[in-house]
């Protein structure tokens, strides 16, 4: 291998979106000698097993659903059929468009790509799977996360799906699907497979769906799942899973067992740090197993940074991109402290669930004197016209200081609309000024304006 005895100024471990952004930005902006290792596919989880394939599949699912539903608007379509292999083929094509160039864009900028697993073995030292030794003045861990399954009796060694299998393993739509976990990933797959034709049941141990979102957001979205025939079991503790003869049985504490043809486990992620000699490199981990890192994402290891999902902060591509900028800025001598105050989050279900900043609960936990405003989507004329009235806009502010602390939107295009709230938070625009801003009619964004007006009036609207 060409890199065997070479020394790098910066070596990036992991060629997902984050690691790629670090390597390419350094190569564009400096003369530093940059190397990057990827053991699987350049583009990482987002391109191959996450954002892109799921959003492609969601597009097909939405097409199917709107064709079925369009008779409400006086248009009749007969015989909706989902061609699952064609859906997957489209996902493959789009991934190929995105990352088909492989290592070329890196090499054109002078980045050396090492297409194998590389592990930290000491300060400034790495070792590739083929035994090659690598010396690097600075190292960036952009190693991402992987799906984790709960220690559920009977689960280990069984062919349950994680996000990877849910995209790439089925050749046809399963008759039924159990989804364990109702975070963003669980919800997106649950609605997708239900609309493709599976009978779907969601099992969630917390007392509500989308547990990390504002309670009102989950409550506004739940009726959509129920209307679409998805069974939702919240506060349900799975105690045992059994797979035999191509079928699953899941036992729940104090409830009837559930059965299904397939099981998707979407209960969380863990860092991909196995195999590294972190101790030798001086990288300490926190209680969750992620590297302890300072304001500019320097770990406790000498000149070793962490970025992206590897930090365990907010597991989103745009957060990885942001953290990549923090890291390459620090490496190039322009440190700026990381700040997660205004990070949009979107679950791409339909209607979308989007949020930024603090939930009402987190704001209260932080000791804020909380004021909220809630506007129901059913009061919005555009929502009525579109026939999609489930949802709401909720704003969370500090009553005493007037600071806007968070926003939560459930509605069509919520993932776009949330940026109005994010912009107001970023620029610290007064709440009354946002309410004064003229919004086009009829748009869903008018609900955001009304939420600002109500908040400015100090009026706490009732729950939607």
Ligand X SMILES: Cc1cc2nc3c(=O)[nH]c(=O)nc-3n(C[C@H](O)[C@H](O)[C@H](O)COP(=O)(O)OP(=O)(O)OC[C@H]3O[C@@H](n4cnc5c(N)ncnc54)[C@H](O)[C@@H]3O)c2cc1C
Residue list 107-136, contact with ligand X (CB under 6 A): 117-119
Residue keyed to tokens 């109005």: 420
Min dist. Cβ of residue 101 to ligand X (A): 16
Instruction: Give which of 316, 318, 292 is closest to 305, Cα–Cα.
Output: 292
Residue 122 tokens read as 């000491």
How many other CB atoms are found less than 10 A from the CB of residue 107? 13
Contact with ligand X (CB under 6 A) among 25, 191, 317, 355: 317
Contact with ligand X (CB under 6 A) among 24, 35, 45, 134: 45
Beta carbon nearer to ligand X, 37 or 376: 37
Is 186 an interacting residue with respect to ligand X (CB under 6 A)?
Answer: no
Question: What track of x and - describes contact with ligand X for positions 12 through 31 (by CB under 6 A)?
Answer: -xxxxxxx------------
# of chain residues touching ligand X (CB under 6 A): 37
Alpha-carbon distance 180 to 262, whole Å?
11
Is 183 an interacting residue with respect to ligand X (CB under 6 A)?
Answer: no
Residue 415 tokens read as 């993932």
Beta carbon nearer to ligand X, 43 or 464: 43
Contact with ligand X (CB under 6 A) among 25, 54, 60, 112: 54
Interacting residues of 377 by C-beta distance below 8 A, sequence separation 6+: 351, 383, 388, 389, 390, 391, 392, 393, 410, 411, 444, 447, 464
> Are 357 and 407 in contact, with CB atoms under 8 Å apart?
yes
Min dist. Cβ of residue 76 to ligand X (A): 33
Is 318 an interacting residue with respect to ligand X (CB under 6 A)?
Answer: yes
> Are 189 and 166 in contact, with CB atoms under 8 Å apart?
yes
Min dist. Cβ of residue 268 to ligand X (A): 11
Instruction: Name the one range near ligand X by CB under 6 A: 64-72, 140-148, 218-226, 294-302.
Output: 140-148
Is 412 an interacting residue with respect to ligand X (CB under 6 A)?
Answer: no
Residue 250 tokens read as 């899941």
Provide the Cα torsion 249, 252, 255, 261; round to 10°. Answer: -20
**Which residues of the shown chain bind ligand X in the complex (CB under 6 A)?**
13-19, 37-40, 44-46, 50-51, 54-55, 117-119, 142-145, 163, 185, 272, 308-310, 315-318, 320, 348
């Amino acid at each position: 291998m060409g890199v065997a005895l070479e020394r790098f100024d910066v070596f990036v471990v992991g060629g997902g979106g984050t690691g790629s952004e670090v390597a390419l930005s350094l190569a564009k902006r400096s003369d530093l000698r940059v190397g990057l290792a990827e053991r699987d596919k350049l583009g990482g989880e987002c391109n191959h097993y996450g954002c892109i394939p799921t959003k492609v599949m969601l597009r097909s699912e939405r097409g199917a659903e709107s064709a079925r539903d369009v008779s409400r608007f006086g248009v009749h379509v007969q015989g909706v059929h989902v061609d699952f292999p064609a859906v997957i083929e489209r996902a493959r094509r789009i991934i190929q468009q995105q990352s088909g160039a492989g290592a070329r864009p890196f090499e054109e900028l002078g980045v050396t790509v090492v297409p194998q697993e590389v592990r930290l073995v000491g300060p400034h030292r790495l070792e590739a799977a083929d035994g090659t030794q690598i010396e690097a003045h600075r190292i960036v861990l952009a190693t991402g996360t992987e799906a984790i399954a709960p220690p559920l009796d009977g689960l280990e060694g069984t062919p349950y799906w994680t996000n990877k299998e849910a995209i790439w393993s089925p050749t046809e739509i399963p008759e039924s699907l159990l989804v364990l976990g109702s975070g963003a990933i669980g919800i997106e797959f649950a609605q997708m497979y239900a609309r493709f034709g599976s009978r779907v049941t969601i099992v969630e141990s917390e007392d509500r769906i989308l547990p990390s979102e504002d309670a009102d957001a989950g409550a506004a979205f739940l009726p959509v799942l129920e209307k679409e025939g998805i069974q939702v079991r919240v506060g349900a503790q799975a105690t045992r899973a059994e797979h035999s003869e191509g079928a699953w049985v899941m036992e729940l504490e104090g409830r009837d067992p559930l059965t299904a043809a397939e099981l998707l486990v979407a209960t969380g992620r863990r860092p991909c740090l196995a195999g590294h000699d972190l101790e030798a490199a001086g990288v300490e981990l926190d209680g969750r197993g992620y590297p302890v890192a300072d304001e500019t994402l320097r770990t406790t290891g000498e000149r070793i940074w962490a970025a992206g999902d590897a930090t365990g902060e907010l597991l989103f591509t745009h957060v990885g991109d942001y953290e990549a900028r923090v890291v390459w800025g620090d490496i190039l001598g322009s440190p700026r402290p990381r700040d997660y105050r205004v990070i949009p989050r979107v679950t791409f279900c339909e209607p979308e669930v989007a949020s930024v900043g603090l939930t009402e609960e987190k704001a209260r936990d932080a000791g804020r004197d909380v004021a909220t405003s809630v506007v129901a989507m059913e009061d919005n004329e555009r929502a009525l016209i579109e026939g999609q009235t489930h949802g709401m806009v909720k704003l969370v502010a500090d009553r005493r200081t007037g600071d806007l602390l968070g926003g939560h939107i459930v509605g069509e295009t919520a993932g776009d609309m949330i940026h109005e709230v994010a912009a107001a938070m970023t620029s610290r625009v007064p709440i009354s000024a946002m309410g004064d801003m003229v919004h086009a009619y009829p748009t869903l964004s008018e609900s955001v304006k009304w939420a600002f007006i109500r908040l400015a009036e100090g009026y706490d609207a009732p729950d939607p």
